[in-house]
Structure 1
Amino acid sequence: MDTITHTLFGLGIYKAVNKEKMSKKEKQALLFTSVGASQIPDIDVISQLWDTAGQYQMWHRGITHSVFLTPVWALLFFMLNYLFFRLKSWPFFWIALLAVFIHDTSDVFNAWGTGYFEPFSNARLTFGTISIIDFVIWFLFLLAFVMAKKVKTMKEYRLYRITWALIAVHVIAQSAQGYIVYKQYKPHYEQVALSASFIPWNYSIIGKDGNRVDIIQDSLLTKGNLMYKLQSGSDHDLDTLFKQNPKAQTLYEWSPFVVVVDNNQQLGIYDPRFYRKGQSFLFEYIDKTQK
């Protein structure tokens, strides 16, 4: 998910805790823990500073997002709470554990995916059923915030717990529909990937059959619409590309499948899941015109 959503998750955890018997210092520690732990897996972005081998695509959302690292991050926040607030309270460990788990698991649901089982598996786990920016989640948190200000008859923490339940229902419903759509197209292609749209219950289905790649917009409530028909070049001789642009090899290993661009100007590959308006956000190439 995006940074704003992860921040909302942290604030949502903080709001969902009953703080009536907490001291000011405990509330500060809780806010620090819930928001900080909701962001900590994305600390891997600093790896760009020393990436000279073109490996950032694999490092980002890699080991720091592993489910096996969640207790390590939680223990870190347990110790930071003692360092900054002089609090040695195990409930903060569990809050941090929950926040990191939500971060790592929510990232699995969008097309970018994570190294959820690293270091035991380098495969990117991705469902593609939730958009990286999910406006339904934003709306539910906004609604909770407004209601907490307007409705004084309900405890704030109870209101946010209901909000969390609604978010869970949304994720389950959205993912179930995406899975059904995915299964409908799977028999028709050699490889299929799914990418959720910003519009709820709508998806892009990316199907590859030989060198043909189709991008179809579909949902359970509408008829499928072929948006793009792409032709991929042969991918049997990409050594030159990988030698001159190491990021291309990383992208090749990271993506479920790629489209190869081989013309008089360029030799490159791109991930068709991120193809919009004639180009992909993830495109690595070399310029053939330069010697």
Structure 2
Amino acid sequence: MDTVTHTLFGLTTYGALDKSRTDKQTKRALLFTALLSSQAPDLDVVARITETGRIMDQMWHRGLTHSVFVAPIWALLIYALVWVIWRKKDKMIFYLALVNVIIHIGTDSLNAWGTGFFEPFSSIRISIGVLPILDFVIWGIFLGAYIYKKVKRNQSTYKIWRVAWMIVLAHISIQAAQGLWIHQEARTTYEQTTLTASFLPAHFTVLAKEDNRILVYDQTLWSKQEEPVVIESNEEEDLTPLFEENPRAEVLMTWSPFVVVTTDDGKLGVYDPRFYRGDGPMLFESIELTN
């Protein structure tokens, strides 16, 4: 998910706590915990400062730092930092940090970019593709709760945020159920498949690979694009020169469910078809072809 959504997750989990008997310093510690833990897994961006980090960007970003096995470590580190700053040892600080880290890596796993959810024990990229990278429905639910809180000042704030979270979880569950149903249907027909969610709720793009063709079509539970877009992939091309001159290309192939191999415009390259926009692919690694 995007940074704004992760921040909203932190603010609203903090808001969902009953702090009626909590002192001012502990409230500050809890707010700090919620905001830091909601962003902590994305601190892997520091890996990009080295040349190796830039080459391995696709594998390292959302990699080990987004592992479910590392989540308790993040929570302990944040708990320790809070103790250093505020000398607070409230168990709620640890649990709030743990919940927010798990929310972060869990929601990131639900979009097409995926995470190294089981690293270091498995390098498989978990990218379920049932949520968009930026979900305006989630924003709308939280905005509605905020407006309601301002209007209904006599109601318990933490209860309003808890109800908002129940609605968010219901939205994610419904979105996931629809996406998985559509994906399962595609898997019964094609060799390899992957899924991406549209910004429009309940709308998905299915990508399916058969030999040297990749089919792309939009689908909902009630409708399906009749004529898929067909992308030809030059699977017979020798990619050894590409990998030798541009090591990011091999990383992209490892990271992606499948890629398109192209020799267009005098370039030998590969790109992930899930991230193709009107002006071309977002994730494209290539070299110039020599005569």
Confirm or deny a common fold (TM above 0.5): yes
Deviation at 1:236, TM superposition (A): 5.4
Q: Distance in 2 between matches of 1:149 and 1:206?
A: 44
* 1-structure distance, mates of 2:176, 2:72: 27
**Aligned equivalent of 1:154:** 155
Does 2:57 correspond to 1:52? no
Is 1:13 the counterpart of 2:17? The answer is no
1:37 aligns with 2:37: yes
* CA distance in 2 between partners of 1:271 and 1:35 (Å): 32
Q: Which amino acid aligns with 1:16?
A: A
The amino acid across from 1:33 in the alignment is T
Give the CA RMSD over aligned residues. 1.4
Question: 1:152 offset after TM fit, Å?
Answer: 2.0
Measured in 2, the distance between the counterparts of 1:192 and 1:8 equals: 32
CA contact (8 A) 1:264 1:288 kept: no
Report the 3-state secondary structure (helix = DSSP H, G, I; strand = E; otherwise coil) of the residue aligned with 2:229: strand
SS in 2 for 1:88: coil
Question: What does residue 284 of structure 2 align with?
Answer: 283
Q: Does 1:105 align with 2:106?
A: yes
**Counterparts of 1:225 and 1:152 in 2: how far apart (Å)?**
51
Given the two structures, how large is their TM-score scaled by the length of structure 1? 0.96
User: Any conservation in 2 of the 1:245–1:286 contact (CA below 8 Å)?
Assistant: yes
Render the CA deviation track for 1:230-257: whole Å, top value 9, x for unaligned.
1001255211101100110000000000
Q: Distance in 2 between matches of 1:133 and 1:84?
A: 33
Q: Secondary structure at the match of 2:129?
A: coil
2:208 is paired with a residue of what secondary structure? strand
Q: Is the partner of 1:205 in helix, strand or coil?
A: strand
- Secondary structure of the residue that 2:206 maps to in structure 1? strand
Unaligned runs of 5+ in 1: none
CA distance in structure 1 between the aligned counterparts of 2:208 and 2:106, rounded to whole angstroms = 25
Instruction: Describe how 1:1-291 pairs up with structure 2 within 5 A.
Output: 1-52=1-52, 54-226=55-227, 228-234=229-235, 237-263=238-264, 265-277=266-278, 279-288=280-289
Q: Deviations over 1:131-186 (max 9, x none)?
A: 01000000011111111111123211000001111111101100100111112222
CA contact (8 A) 2:111 2:127 kept: yes
What amino acid does structure 2 have at the position aligned with 1:48?
R
Preserved contact between residue 110 and residue 127 of structure 2 (Cα < 8 Å):
yes
The separation in 2 between residues aligned to 1:279 and 1:204, in whole angstroms, is 17
Whole-Å separation in 1 of the counterparts to 2:255 and 2:236: 15
1:275 Cα deviation from its structure 2 partner: 1.4
Q: Which amino acid aligns with 1:168?
A: L
Tell me by how many angstroms 1:264 deviates.
Answer: 5.8
1:3 alignment partner AA:
T
Verify the 8 A CA contact 2:6 2:39 in the aligned structure 1: yes
Give 1:169's aligned amino acid.
Answer: A
Distance 1:200 1:56, change over 3 A: same
Displacement of 1:90 in angstroms is 1.6
Deviation at 1:228, TM superposition (A): 2.4
2:15 and 2:157 in contact (8 A); partners too: yes
Shift, 1:41, TM fit:
0.1
**One-letter code of the match for 1:239?**
T
Deviation above 4 Å: which 4+ runs of structure 1? none
Tell me by how many angstroms 1:224 deviates.
Answer: 2.2
Larger mean CA deviation between 251-260 and 19-28 belongs to 19-28
What stretches of structure 2 of length at least 5 have no aligned partner? none
Tell which deviates more after alignment, 175-184 or 60-69. 175-184
Structure 1 SS opposite 2:207 = strand
User: Conserved in 1, the CA contact under 8 Å of 2:217 and 2:224?
Assistant: no
Stretch moving more, 144-153 or 116-125? 144-153
Report the TM-score, using the length of structure 2 for normalisation: 0.96
Q: Deviations over 1:46-80 (max 9, x none)?
A: 11101336111100000000000011000011111
* 2:70 counterpart SS class: helix
Alignment partner of 2:188: what SS?
Answer: helix
